[in-house]
A and B are shown apart, each in its own frame.
Chain A
Amino acid sequence: DIQMTQSPSSLPASLGDRVTITCRASQDIGNYLRWFQQKPGKSPRLMIYGATNLANGVPSRFSGSRSGSDYSLTINSLESEDMAIYYCLQHNEYPYTFGAGTKLELK
């Protein structure tokens, strides 16, 4: 199975900060990478698809990028509603696999 190594596992940040979360794929996945946001007690929400495309209704302060086998989710000007756990998902090869998650919390 493809391993998705996500870092950091925890990210303390302040409101207004710019933060970046990264997933590294153990083998080539092309742009078959999605990012999800999950708040306590809620289902995951699709944020980014195709590594760089914003899903419907997602604020423009979110963005996705790729550098080789590293995929990043960046949030510009952090807002309180962004505090959540973020997961990446690769869907290039079955079984699809998720990163372990990054908990974004207020410093």
Chain B
Amino acid sequence: QVQLQQSGAELAKPGSSVKISCKASGYTFTSYYISWIKQTTGQGLEYIGYINTGSGGTNYNEKFKGKATLTVDKSSSTAFMQLSSLTPDDSAVYYCARGVVPFDYWGQGVMVTVSS
């Protein structure tokens, strides 16, 4: 069955970076893009961008350019998102989802907490 397994919760200090992962199984990894979505209580759901899992090409929401960097490791069927120069506003749950839009399968989410 299709699964997207994300890495564990992160506690990070302001100014630092974190890299979270999304390991896919149960389907051909390179047949679907992977999207990333941010969820906060205040801002709701925000689309960060997506990565072409075959070519590594990316497309970012302008709001997240410079904040998020999407990469992929085809050999392990894993997508990654690095968040840099963290501030408290980056505290959120981050989801990966299959496809640019389908979103038929989601990871379980990773809670990132930015605090000194």
Interface residues of A (CB under 8 A from B): 34, 36, 43-46, 49, 55-56, 87, 89, 91, 94-101
Contacts and interface: CB of A to CB of B under 8 A. Distances in A.
Contact of A43 (B44, B100, B102, B108): B108
B46 interface: yes
B104 A98 contact: no
B44 A87 contact: yes
A95 B103 contact: no
B44 A95 contact: no
Given A98-B44, A100-B44, A44 B103 contact: yes
16 contacts: A34-B103, A36-B103, A44-B45, A44-B95, A49-B102, A87-B44, A87-B45, A89-B45, A91-B101, A94-B61, A95-B49, A95-B61, A96-B101, A98-B45, A98-B47, A101-B45
Interface of B: 44-47, 49, 59, 61-63, 95, 100-104, 106-109
A43 B109 contact: yes
Q: Which of B59, B62, B100, B101 has the most CB of A within 10 A?
A: B101
Contacts, number: 43
Contacts of B106: 43-45
A94 B48 CA distance: 11
Given A94-B59, A95-B63, A46 B103 contact: yes
Given A43-B109, A95-B61, A55 B47 contact: no
Given A43-B107, A44-B106, A98-B46, 4 more contacts: A34-B103, A44-B103, A99-B44, A100-B44
A101 B104 contact: no
Nearest to B44: A100
Nearest to B101: A91
A97 B47 contact: yes
Contacts of A97: 47
Contacts of B107: 43
A90 to B, nearest CB: 10
A49 B101 CA distance: 10
